[in-house]
């Protein structure tokens, strides 16, 4: 029995049936601990499905702005547009989102406010120009960022509950960010180990197929599901998110960070693919969805990639230097060449020498490589 399957079976035996029955079945061995917002978030993939199937600009815009399948309550829809609204209006923000704004602002913290509508502008532009990339843009920009947002917010709420004198006065823990994340990642009606879907999971499958990291399930999907199970296990403990389980709080933060790092793998794979295939529209999308994240620890690499990919048309004649800088940026994300794989269409193979740089943490340069085990948070 594979480790992932064994973990699923073990958790099913350990968790009370009462808790499991309240969750939703996302297939592939994943049953959330809670339903709550998880069902609503999973249903967002059905709106993406309908947008992808439509060729009518007005219908696509209505689906994006008003929603159809995801409901906050009976008759009250949760539209895809609301994702960017939530992120923009959150006064505290989360590290992944704030770093993205910082990068989009050209590393100028005084200008990041003007970047807050970046995803909405991009998605609307694809609808207005009838570019068949609207669904992909929503997945790479909105769904991915929102998934990291709910994951971080859940871990933060767990920490605040553990530190509070009266945790009952805080908002309900819900799925602790883990259930909400996995619902956004896998979505509704997703066939396991298949790209025939409209979720982040299906997107990761498509990216993995380009680099030979699907066997048949994408390695990143296997990793994310296993990490989810570990996080759900921490949250299932009777003393979870209390002063009596501070180690569990730290574990949850670490698992959340590891999931975010893994979730960047398809972003990087699709960016490399768009450059290798010299697809200007895809390169524009995956540049804006990926490159700003480099601002968190590799400013010099970020500036070169920003100049090459974000400030104008991509110069595919600079492909070797662009790919080399992307590889240097991978270490910033905690990603290795093993995660990326080898481009199956030929012409590119990840250079591990470029991903062996030591990750800089908030300006401090460690003496050993800490990628993949570091735990950096802005609280």
Q: 271: closest CA among 317, 210, 214?
A: 210
- Cis peptide leading into residue 216 (ω within 30°): yes
**CA distances to 3, 13, 24, 165, 368 from 34, in Å:** 24, 17, 7, 25, 40
Question: So what's the pLDDT on residue 237?
Answer: 95
Sign of the CA dihedral with 250 first, then 172, 378, and 359 last: positive
Share of the chain above pLDDT 90, in %: 80
Separation CA 79–CA 16 (nearest Å) = 34
Based on the number of CB atoms within 10 Å of its own CB, is 310 exposed (0-12), middle (13-18) or buried (19 or more)?
middle
d(CA 123, CA 134): 6
The pLDDT value given to residue 288: 97
pLDDT of residue 356: 56
Q: How far apart are CA 369 and CA 356, in angstroms?
A: 8
Mean pLDDT of 92-96: 94
| Higher per-residue confidence, 190 vs 366 | 190
**pLDDT-derived band of residue 379, with 50, 70 and 90 as boundaries?**
very low
Instruction: Judge whether residue 63 has pLDDT over 60.
Output: yes
Average pLDDT over residues 136-141: 98
For the chain, what are the domain ranges? Answer: 3-265
Q: What is the pLDDT of residue 283?
A: 97
More confident of the two residues 2 and 191: 191
Give the pLDDT of residue 21. Answer: 42
What is the rounded average pLDDT of the residues 61-76? 97
In this model, does residue 5 exceed pLDDT 70?
no
Mean pLDDT of 84-95: 95
What pLDDT digit, counting tens, does each position of 9-34 carry? Answer: 444 444 433 334 479 999 999 999 99
Q: What is the mean pLDDT of residues 140-163?
A: 97
**pLDDT tier at 313, thresholds 50, 70, 90:** confident
């Amino acid at each position: 029995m594979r480790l992932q399957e064994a973990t699923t079976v073990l958790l099913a035996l350990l968790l009370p049936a009462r808790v499991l029955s309240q969750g939703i079945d996302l297939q592939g061995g994943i049953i959330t601990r809670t339903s709550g917002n998880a069902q609503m978030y999973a249903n967002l993939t059905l709106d993406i499905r309908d947008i992808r199937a439509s060729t009518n600009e007005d219908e696509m815009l209505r689906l994006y702005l008003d929603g159809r399948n995801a409901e906050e309550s009976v008759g009250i829809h949760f539209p895809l547009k609301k994702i960017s609204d939530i992120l923009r209006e959150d006064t505290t923000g989360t590290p992944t989102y704030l770093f993205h704004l910082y990068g989009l602002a050209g590393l100028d913290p005084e200008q990041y406010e003007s970047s807050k509508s970046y995803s909405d502008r991009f998605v609307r532009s694809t609808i207005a120009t009838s570019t068949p990339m609207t669904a992909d843009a929503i997945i790479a920009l909105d769904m991915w960022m929102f998934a990291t947002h709910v994951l971080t917010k859940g871990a933060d709420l767990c920490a605040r509950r553990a530190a509070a004198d009266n945790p009952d006065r805080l908002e309900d823990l819900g799925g602790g960010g883990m259930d909400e994340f996995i619902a956004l990642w896998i979505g509704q009606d997703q066939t396991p180990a298949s790209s025939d879907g409209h979720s982040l999971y299906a997107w990761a499958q498509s990216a993995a197929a380009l680099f030979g990291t699907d066997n048949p399930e994408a390695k990143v999907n296997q990793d994310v599901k296993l990490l989810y199970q570990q996080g759900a296990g921490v949250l299932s403990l009777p003393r979870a998110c209390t002063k009596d389980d501070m180690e569990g709080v730290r574990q949850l933060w670490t698992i959340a960070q590891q999931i975010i790092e893994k979730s960047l793998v398809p972003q990087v794979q699709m960016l490399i693919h768009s450059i290798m295939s010299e697809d200007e529209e895809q390169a524009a999308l995956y540049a804006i969805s990926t490159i700003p994240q480099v601002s968190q620890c590799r400013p010099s690499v970020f500036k070169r990639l920003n100049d090459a990919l974000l400030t104008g048309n991509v110069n595919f004649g600079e492909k070797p230097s662009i790919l080399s800088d992307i590889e240097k940026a991978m270490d910033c994300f905690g990603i290795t060449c093993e995660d990326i794989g080898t481009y199956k269409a030929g012409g590119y193979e990840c250079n591990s020498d470029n991903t062996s740089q030591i990750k800089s943490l908030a300006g401090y340069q460690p003496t050993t490589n800490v990628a993949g085990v570091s735990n950096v948070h802005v609280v």
